[in-house]
Amino acid sequence: MFEETRKFVQKLGLPPGDLFDMLTSPARFPDGAAFRIECPTVNSADAVACLLDTATQMGVTINRITETYGMFRHTRQELKQFCRLCNEYGTELLMSVGPRAPYDTGGTVQTPQGVRISYRLRGMEQVLRGIEDIKRGYDVGIRGFLVYDEGMLWVVNEMRKEGALPKEIIFKCSAHLGHCNPASFKVLESLGADSINPVRDLQIPMIAALRAAVQVPIDVHTDNPPGSGGFIRVYEAPEIVRVAAPVHCKTGNSVIGGHGEMTSAADGKRMAEQAAIVVEMVNKYYPDLKQSGKRVSDMRIPVA
């Protein structure tokens, strides 16, 4: 079926469909690793401290922490605590751009249909505020930023190319953008995304098709909270790593109620425990698929 269309999309660098053969991805991070562990929604310095302390005690490496509450809702002092803790442990830190639709005066995003707006920015002034949020974060030591709007991604990437923002800055696209197919991923990569998070319910052949379309790392939830489906995919994690490498296995969200909420030290401890389960599964079933060690800040990967 659809053979003529399948042949045409292949000319565009897209896979001819979802990849049900689930071939092993040969691509790797620059250090040769197939996967890294990312803990998202780590939204307080207390949660960061307990997460990293627990992980250290368990012998588990947390490669990346992502904050999702909004940078502009944290004091400069707490932002510096985030940076200090992650620097001491050797983990990458990404903070979320603060002003976005749910925090604005517009009411559409609060309606059932308005959820389609996701966390996108309303109006040009909010784009400018988002850029200022990045500048504020950079000023206190943050180098990685979680972006929720394709337009803003394009602007800040242009600024990065022109030197108006530092070239060392990293931009990750959130799952809240709602992208879930190879064509959309190719667009985000072309706009400057250094790492892309698909929606949380994609099947493994769909994830394999994403890998076939882009070179940047893919960030896949191996578990998530009830607020976005409550999927616990730890037994799928090894296959996700195999087909999607280089991939960030996003884990720990299942211990909380929903994305973007404030998290505590107790939440941080349980996140570390959940991360340990994912690492256990990958190591057991595919021991040849290695995890990166600490202190990795690179995101772009060479063509395999």
Give the residue ranges of DSSP H helices in 64-143.
76-89, 123-140
What is the helix (H) or strand (E) element at residue 147, kind and residue range? Answer: strand 144-147
Cα–Cα distance measured from residue 74 to residue 281, given in angstroms and rounded to the nearest whole number: 35
What does pTM read for this prediction? Answer: 0.93
How many other C-beta atoms can be found within 10 angstroms of the C-beta atom of residue 169?
18
Which CATH number, 3.20.20.80, 3.40.1050.10, 3.40.50.150, 3.90.1580.10, labels domain 47-105+117-285? 3.20.20.80
Contact, 175 vs 197, CB < 8 A? yes
Cβ distance 197 to 174 under 8 Å? yes
**Segments making up each domain of the chain, as ranges:** 47-105+117-285
Q: Which pLDDT tens digits describe the chain residue by residue (304 residues)?
A: 999 999 999 999 999 999 999 999 999 999 999 999 999 999 999 999 999 999 999 999 999 999 999 999 999 999 999 999 999 999 999 999 987 888 888 778 778 877 777 788 999 999 999 999 999 999 999 999 999 999 999 999 999 999 999 999 999 999 999 999 999 999 999 999 999 999 999 999 999 999 999 999 999 999 998 888 899 999 999 999 999 999 999 999 999 988 878 899 999 999 999 999 999 999 999 999 999 998 755 434 333 3
